[in-house]
Amino acid sequence: MLNVRRKVAAALVAVGIAAGAGAVAAPSAQAAIRPGNYTYSVWDGPTRILTQPAVVRGNRIYLVHEQTWYEIKPTRSGGVVTAEMIDRRVFWRSGDGYAGVSYMWFIPRHKTVTARLTLTPTR
């Protein structure tokens, strides 16, 4: 009986080690917005209605005209920024920069509250 308990305990330890090693070795599914200097633009249809410099450092973006650092939550294709708890900005990779949309009050795809966004790297 003691021998069976040892085998069960050893098997559980081995499974735990294997699971832990898999979790550590697993590649990240996140593709954060790359650090650098950008031009942040807001579009209403084909018309650019706002342009401002932006800086990305780690998982934060600084919008110069807003004079505010915002946290970026990395996603598989870019990142999500929540501003002032009412504005959600979702970005995805597009060319050498990022494209996205802005949802006011978390209402996706509602024409009166959605703007199109671009983050273009500056050279």
CB 74 within 8 A of CB 64: no
Q: What per-residue confidence (pLDDT) applies to 36?
A: 96
Distance between CA 121 and CA 53 in Å, rounded?
A: 10
pLDDT per position in the chain (123 positions), as tens?
Answer: 555 445 444 444 443 444 444 434 344 445 689 999 999 999 988 999 999 999 999 999 999 998 999 999 999 999 999 887 778 899 999 999 999 998 876 666 665 567 899 999 997
- Out of 3.30.450, 2.40.128, 2.40.160, 3.30.420, select the CATH number for domain 36-121: 2.40.128
Q: What per-residue confidence (pLDDT) applies to 114?
A: 75
Distance between CA 96 and CA 123 in Å, rounded?
A: 12
Whole-number CA gyration radius for the chain: 22
Domain limits of the chain? 36-121
CB 104 within 8 A of CB 113: yes
In order, the DSSP letters of 18-67 are HHHHHHHHSPP---PPPSEEEEEEEEETTEEEEEEEEEEETTEEEETTTT
